[in-house]
């Protein structure tokens, strides 16, 4: 019978046996999978696990600082790398969604390789790969058609010439959460919505600028905090804001404005493969619209996305 307690015990023993007194390097993303995988490896080999957490400048507001702090609090040996300018520089003027994903994926690998090459005597690469990733890398990105090239920290360098440690390889998401709970991982990680690897880059339609990232981070924080305060966060599967490449006319006091629009997105789903738009209360949406327009400079219009998947996708890019 599968139980989290039994899985944890057995997995830690296996990692100890496999890794011995060698060293493991691993990228953390702030998501459930890499965090639970890291903590399992950490429990097995302690400070021989070296973690790297990259700020690509496309995370949610304050996410990098908060998550890095939580990792340190867990006792993980983690190095934070601020690579914002590198990412913004290479993404400058790029508006094609697949191109953005490719650039972000490539830069992430470059930064990670650079950082790991500075660590000595690393023999293993830790990864938070879970079972659906194993299947998806076959079905979603199969040879026939790529709808969206899903990139996340699950897809790291093959040429790094290290053996893999993937403690979650045969688990489904709900099992990962149960394991996480068993080893005391905070709800900050366990109860969080999915967030795409390319981050806010695919929620800013068109070319990315640091100013647009800042605008979207502010709107997104108001929306996500609002969902939490209204007790709606756990009722939706995923939520976020999208900055549209559209300016429209508005009025503020007696000034005419010509500013950007954000779309709010919230969906219910089981696995993200199909999704229904969440029927959020009108009063809540009204409050979000007011708060965002009043507090975020540069935004004068808020719309709500009422498209389901299929035929729409959850993200807009
Ligand atoms: P779509 O937009 O395809 O999204 O309906 C389904 C789920 O996948 C996430 N997503 C991504 N995750 N890299 C990721 O790691 C990506 O490039 C990517 N694109 C979409 C999306 O957030 C949703 O949870």
pLDDT at 64 over 50: yes
**What separation in Å is there between the alpha carbon of 166 and the centre of ligand 1?**
22
In order of their start, the domains of the chain are 4-190 (3.40.50.620), 209-304 (3.30.300.10)
Nearest ligand 1 atom to the CA of 313 is: 5
Q: Are strands 122-126 and 238-252 parallel, antiparallel or unpaired?
A: unpaired
**Residues with C-beta less than 6 Å from any ligand 1 atom:** 101, 148, 150-152, 194, 196-198, 238, 272, 309, 313-315
Cα 283 to averaged position of ligand 1 atoms, centre (Å): 29
Mean pLDDT (whole number) for 210-233: 98
Predicted confidence (pLDDT) per residue in 134-187, tens digit: 886 654 443 334 444 554 544 555 556 789 999 999 999 999 999 999 999 999
Q: Give the three-state DSSP class for 60.
A: coil
Q: What is the pLDDT of residues 89-108, one digit of tens each?
A: 999 999 999 999 999 999 99
Q: Mutation test of ligand 1: which of 30, 195, 310, 315 has the most ligand atoms closer than 8 Å to its C-beta?
A: 315
CA of 313 relative to ligand 1 center, distance in Å: 9
Q: Is the pLDDT of residue 216 over 60?
A: yes
Rounded to an integer, what distance in angstroms lies between the CA atom of residue 135 and that of residue 141?
10
Which of 173 and 287 is assigned the larger pLDDT? 287
Interface confidence, given as ipTM, is 0.99
Question: Atom 17, ligand 1: which residue's CA is nearest?
Answer: 150
Mean pLDDT lowest among 81-85, 192-196, 301-305? 192-196
Residue of 148, 197, 266, 316 to test ligand 1 pocket, by largest number of atoms within 8 Å of CB? 148
pLDDT, averaged across the chain? 93
Which residues are annotated binding-site positions?
29-35
Distance 148 CA to ligand 1 centre (A): 8
Strand partners, 82: 55
pLDDT of residue 184: 96
pLDDT at 81 over 60: yes
Q: Check residue 144 and give its pLDDT.
A: 39
Band of residue 236 on the pLDDT scale cut at 50, 70, 90:
very high
Counting ligand 1 atoms within 8 A of each CB, the residue from 58, 193, 196, 266 with the most, and so the one to mutate, is 196
Q: Residue 135: what pLDDT?
A: 81
Separation CA 15–CA 41 (nearest Å): 7
**What is the percent of the chain with per-residue pLDDT over 90, rounded to a whole number?**
88
Rounded Cα–Cα distance for residues 47 and 24 (Å): 9
């Amino acid at each position: 019978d599968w139980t989290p307690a039994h899985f944890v015990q057995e997995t830690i023993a296996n990692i100890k046996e496999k890794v011995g007194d060698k060293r493991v390097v691993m990228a953390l993303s702030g998501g459930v999978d890499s965090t639970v995988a890291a903590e399992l490896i950490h429990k097995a080999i302690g400070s021989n696990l070296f973690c790297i957490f990259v700020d690509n400048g496309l995370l949610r507001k304050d996410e990098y600082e908060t998550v890095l702090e939580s990792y340190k609090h867990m006792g993980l040996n983690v190095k934070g790398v601020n690579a914002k300018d590198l990412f913004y520089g290479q993404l400058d003027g790029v508006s094609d969604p697949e191109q953005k994903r490719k650039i972000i994926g490539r830069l992430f690998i470059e930064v990670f390789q650079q950082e790991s090459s500075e660590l000595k005597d690393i023999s293993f690469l830790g990864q938070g790969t879970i079972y659906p990733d194993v299947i998806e890398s076959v079905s979603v990105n199969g040879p026939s058609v790529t709808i969206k090239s899903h990139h996340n920290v699950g897809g790291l360098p093959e040429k790094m010439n290290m053996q893999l440690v993937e403690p979650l390889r045969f688990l489904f998401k709900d099992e990962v959460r149960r394991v996480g709970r068993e080893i005391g991982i905070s709800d900050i990680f366990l109860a969080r919505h999915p967030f795409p690897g390319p981050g806010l880059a695919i929620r800013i339609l068109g070319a990315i600028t640091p100013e647009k990232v800042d605008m979207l981070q502010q709107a997104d924080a108001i929306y996500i905090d609002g969902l939490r305060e209204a007790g709606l966060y756990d009722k939706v599967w995923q939520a976020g804001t999208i900055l549209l490449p559209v300016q429209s006319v508005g009025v503020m006091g007696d000034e005419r404005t010509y500013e950007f629009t954000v779309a709010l997105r919230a969906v219910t789903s089981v696995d993200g493969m199909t999704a229904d738009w969440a029927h959020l209360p009108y009063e809540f949406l009204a409050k979000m619209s007011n708060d965002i327009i009043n507090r975020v400079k540069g935004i004068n219009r808020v719309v709500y996305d009422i498209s389901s998947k299929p035929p729409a996708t959850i993200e807009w890019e």
